Amino acid sequence: MKLQDKRWCVKLAAVSSIILCGFASTAFAAYTIVPRAVCGPGDHPESGLQGQVPAALRASGYTGFSCNLELIGQARGDGANWQTAEFVETRANGNICGYHGTASPTASLPGRTLLGSRVLDLTNAGAPQIMGALTTVPMLDPWESIKVNQARQLLAADDAWNGGHGPLIDFYDLSQDCRFPQLLGSVTVGTGSDGGVVAPQGVVGHEGAWAPDGLTYYIGDTTNRSYHAIDVTDPTKPKLIDTFDMKTLGLRSHGLSISDDGMRGYMTTPGNPNGIDGTPGSNGFVILDLSEVQNRLPNAKMKYISSFLFKDGRAAQHTIPVTIQGKPYIIHVDELGSGGPAFGTMAAWAQACDAGLIPFGAPRIVDISDEGNPKLVSTITLEVNQLKSCRLALPDLIGLSIFTYDSHYCSVDRRQNATTLACGMFNAGIRIFDIRDPAQPREIAYFNPPGSTALSLGSNHSGFGQWRANNPDWCSAQVHLDANRGTVWTTCQDSGVIVLKFKNGVWPFPETTTPPGQQN
């Protein structure tokens, strides 16, 4: 451990009774530039750097890129925002359903006619249908919290308008017909009136994740820098079990994931700043022991185990626990790259380049065989993030201020023995990677939709003022792989729902399966 890391431990120890000097910290890790996908006949491959939409194309009218993926279905509606969820009915001739959020009533552009989260029938991959909208308060803008539990056949969202709104949480029953979710309850949690404990500073929605058994839903509360465990044994009467305050570690909160047995939580901490100014990094993820919560012990507490923190990234978004060839890993995803306090600006991107750091967020694969000492295996970076070409992509982004060539949400084919990683990477589109060798991932396909000519009224891309006519979309949501059909679906914020089919035999791999509920 370097001297500055030791000083950081002393600083944090002053505000916490937990000893933090066991934190894993990487300095500036070697980046894995993934080989370009080899495209086939009829494709429209990228003309510049891998992941880039050059300034000249933005100015003349960007018409999209494709490589080993073709668009077979679309339902634009009035656009989308941050997250999607999927439920697969396992009975014979069952439906495949999807759900995605839209911008809140206060962030929507004038002229919207239908607010709320969209319900999708994806049974016919070539003709996705918008069935309607869920309009309970959390569903008016679930932000990144809209999640399905396949085992319990439940859909959940917390109250996250514009990134943080209130203590309500929704649960819908999907068991009868997933195209028509049935509300079980829209309930305030954390006040004591729910029969549970009182949240120290209240509960404010933003992110969310299920324990795989569907008995606990966890809220990532960025407002209060906390994680909340909600008992959903009775989804009509959810109640707060415990709150873990990341401020006791000097850290923040965002997205999260839970181990298959429910005993571990992999909670992100979106660091700020990132070490360019000499401050040790505080971006990465924390491993929590959830066994008391999972086992419903009296006065159950979530407990700190370790952290994986690094300087060369920012705004940790979410995690996915996987095994690859039997070995345990965390896939960690950032939504912003390195940079100074003015993050997501030309100055910050240039500062990262000058410091020899990637300017845009990227996924990482981290070995957690020793959960007390996680170790970086690879950082999946496209050529737009490559240091030697760092400044070549910056002219594309003049006039923009956030979320450009960054990663946001990724998913896998399955959590056990994962083979495939699929990511929404904002202006770089949908990217598909072979991760069977976690130290040497490679790209196999991508699809970057054409720029839209009109605003999408329910899109945060439009609401954030970052939309430009005929310019790249924001592809930010979870991507859902289907090995049986050889397809993938997701949302991009201007394009709405898109369904893609793999070409040229690149996927699925012989050993690939996509069991329902195992992608994130």
Largest CA distance in the chain: 63
Joined together, the tokens standing for residue 257 give: 């994931």
Half-sphere CA count of 214, side-chain side, radius 13 A? 17
- pTM for the whole thing? 0.93
pLDDT at 514: 97
The pLDDT confidence band at residue 322, using thresholds 50, 70 and 90, is very high
Pairing assessment for the beta strands 182-188 and 207-210 based on DSSP bridges: unpaired
DSSP string computed for 435-481: -SSTTS-EEEEEEEPPPPSS--TT-HHHHTT---TTS---B-S--EE
Pairwise CA distance, residues 113 & 118, whole Å: 13
pLDDT tens, position by position, 479-496:
999 999 999 999 999 999
pLDDT tens, position by position, 337-396:
887 666 678 888 888 888 888 899 999 999 999 999 999 999 999 999 988 888 899 999
Do residues 227 and 265 lie in contact, with contact meaning Cβ atoms separated by under 8 Å? yes
Rg for the chain (alpha carbons), in Å?
Answer: 21
Strand order across the beta sheet in which 117-121 lies: 84-88, 96-100, 117-121, 129-134
The rounded percent of the chain whose pLDDT value lies above 90 is: 80
Do residues 359 and 391 lie in contact, with contact meaning Cβ atoms separated by under 8 Å? no
Residue 298, judged by CB atoms within 10 A of its CB (0-12, 13-18, 19+), counts as exposed
Pairwise CA distance, residues 221 & 167, whole Å: 10
pLDDT tens, position by position, 455-473:
999 999 998 889 999 999 9
Joined together, the tokens standing for residue 428 give: 């770089």
Element (H, E) at 381: strand 375-381
pLDDT at 166: 93
Joined together, the tokens standing for residue 121 give: 């029938």
Supply the mean pLDDT for the chain: 91
The pLDDT confidence band at residue 275, using thresholds 50, 70 and 90, is low
Pairwise CA distance, residues 283 & 269, whole Å: 5
pLDDT at 492: 98
Pairwise CA distance, residues 414 & 149, whole Å: 15
The pLDDT confidence band at residue 7, using thresholds 50, 70 and 90, is very low
All residues at 6 or more sequence positions from 86 whose CB lies less than 8 Å from its CB, including other chains: 96, 97, 98, 99, 122, 148, 480, 489, 516, 519
Pairwise CA distance, residues 520 & 512, whole Å: 15
pLDDT at 355: 83
pLDDT tens, position by position, 433-458:
999 999 999 999 999 999 999 999 99
pLDDT at 3: 29
Identity of the residue numbered 486 = G
Q: Is 28 left (phi over 0), alpha (psi -120 to 50) or beta?
A: beta
Pairwise CA distance, residues 107 & 128, whole Å: 26
Nearest to 397 by CA among 462, 466, 450: 466
Q: What is the DSSP letter of 198?
A: B
pLDDT at 279: 56
DSSP string computed for 117-154: EEEEE-SSTTS-EEEEEE-STGGG--TB--EEETTTTE
Q: How many Cβ atoms are within 10 Å of 28's Cβ, its own excluded?
A: 16
CA dihedral of 36, 475, 254, 377, whole degrees rounded to 10: -10
Pairwise CA distance, residues 340 & 360, whole Å: 13
245 pLDDT above the threshold of 80? yes
Phi and psi dihedrals of 48, rounded to 5?
A: -120, -140
Joined together, the tokens standing for residue 425 give: 């990477």
Residue 447, judged by CB atoms within 10 A of its CB (0-12, 13-18, 19+), counts as buried
Structural domains of the chain, ranges and CATH numbers in brackets: 3-502 (2.130.10.10)
| Residue found under tokens 């949480």 | 169
Residues linked to residue 431 through DSSP beta bridges, in sequence order: 423, 446
Nearest to 39 by CA among 507, 509, 506, 434: 506
Nearest to 474 by CA among 81, 17, 27: 81
pLDDT tens, position by position, 207-222:
999 999 999 999 999 9
